[in-house]
Amino acid sequence: MKLGELGEFGLINRIAAHVAGGNGVITGIGDDAAVTALSPGMQLLTSTDMLLEDVHFRRSWHDPCRLGRKSLAVNISDIAAMGGIPRWATLSLAVPADLPLYFLD
């Protein structure tokens, strides 16, 4: 079987079958965001959706500012869907080597 046949959710289920929840993991793989316990009464929601060019966006349609905004929006909506309040953001990039630096700036 190839990844394309398995699909996104098939891959998620395949990974989840081999990952045990650790101490402090309240909600792991499978929801909008992971939930981990920080201290009594405090939980951290983490979302890491990545946008893939020509799947989730096209550079010809999105200027850098709109793409950045969309990248935040998809993750913030996952946090909001679980009743969380977004406070910080992390950045994950997979970009071609020939991407002009002005686009990242």
Cα distance between residue 74 and residue 76, in whole Å: 6
CA-to-CA dists, residue 53 to 36, 57, 79, angstroms: 30, 5, 23
pLDDT in tens, 28-63: 877 678 889 988 888 999 888 888 888 889 989 989
Its pTM stands at 0.70
Cα distance between residue 94 and residue 92, in whole Å: 7
- What is the four-CA torsion angle of 76, 80, 85, 90, rounded to 10 degrees? -20
Q: Locate 85 and state its tokens.
A: 């309040």
Q: Which pLDDT band, with edges at 50, 70 and 90, does 73 fall under?
A: very high
pLDDT in tens, 16-30: 888 877 888 888 877
Q: Locate 98 and state its tokens.
A: 């020939």
CATH code where residue 83 lies? 3.30.1330.10
Residue 22 confidence (pLDDT): 81
Q: 7 lies in which domain range?
A: 3-104
How many separate domains does the chain show? Answer: 1
